[in-house]
Amino acid sequence: MLQFLFAKKKRIYFSLISLFLLVLIALQLSGKLHPANPINVILMPVTGPVQSFFVKNYYNLQDFRARYIDLREVEERNRQLSRELDDARIALLGFHEVQRELMELRRHLEYTRQNRHEYLYARVIGRNPSSWLRTITLDVGVEKGIKVNMPVVTPEGIVGRVVHVSLGYSQVLSVLDPKFAVSSVTSADREPLVAVGGYGSEMNIRYLDAGGKAREGDIVFTSGVDQVFPAGLPVGRITGIAADTDLFFKGTIAPFVDINRLEEVLVLKVEAGEFDAHKEEAKVVP
């Protein structure tokens, strides 16, 4: 019994002493004890490492917090710069597109100035989904004076002819449609032929005189005989010639106009048979 009481008193004394020491340490760490106080001098070897540990970790924590805030600001700034860069890229693409359109418009305008006919500038806004390379749709129609069979061209060569007109739209049968045909001649020896649409990326040659001098590489122009296209418009280049019958050769022509990439065209505002009578200076109709 006495041993139990003695042990209990020991624990109480130890607890009181520990509590007293903790209070002194707390006072020393808080700076409430004067530096010259003997208690402060005695406790310094104990509280010094503890104080150094807390101070070091406190500054580390502050540094971590500052770095975290800086990192968040940097991330937000990077996101903002990324958005600004995307906007700048979109603006640059828009500028390049406008620049391209202006160059195309200037090129078409120069072409019209070199010809005496009246032209209407038009944009390609669609292609027939059932025959992607055969017909195209333009953004002009009867309100601009467009009529069926009016030729459609670019500075490179012929595109086709108008086959349907409505308000605000017109449909063009391209040179690659099997129903298309144009009377033509070769550039070198003026050999007559008919260039008709095919089923691929080339036109076909019909009724080329087997005894003529036409050869691969010759440039083909419209002859004006069909009274739809004026004479002298570029059609394409002969890529192949072969025997067909005793009287005629057949062959292929690569058109100068890439129908699949076409974006702007010129509609020649003359009707069939009017070529010789048309005396106006070339101009673009707004």
pLDDT of residue 277: 37
Instruction: Give bridge partners of residue 64 from the DSSP assignment.
Output: none
Which residue ranges in the chain fall short of pLDDT 70? 1-10, 13-14, 17-59, 90-102, 104-105, 107-109, 111-115, 129-133, 272-286
Going by C-alpha positions, the residue among 283, 200, 195, 211 that lies closest to residue 243 is 211
Half-sphere exposure of 159 (CA within 13 A, CB side): 31
Residue whose structure tokens are 């104080």? 51
Residue whose structure tokens are 């340490």? 25
pLDDT of residue 284: 38
Taking the model in full, what pTM does it have?
0.61
**255 within 8 A of 176, measured Cβ to Cβ:** yes
The model's pLDDT over 51-109, given as tens digits with 9 standing for 90+, comes to 566 566 666 777 777 787 878 888 888 888 777 777 777 666 666 656 666 676 676 66
pLDDT of residue 61: 73
Phi (first) and psi of residue 246, to 5 degrees: -65, -25
By DSSP bridging, strand 219-222 and strand 181-186 are: antiparallel
**Cα dihedral sign for 64, 66, 67, 72?**
positive
Instruction: For residue 177, give both structure tokens.
Output: 């449609």
pLDDT of residue 285: 40
The model's pLDDT over 217-238, given as tens digits with 9 standing for 90+, comes to 999 999 989 889 988 899 999 9
CB neighbour list of residue 257: distance below 8 Å, 6 or more residues apart: 154, 156, 157, 158, 159, 175
pLDDT of residue 137: 95
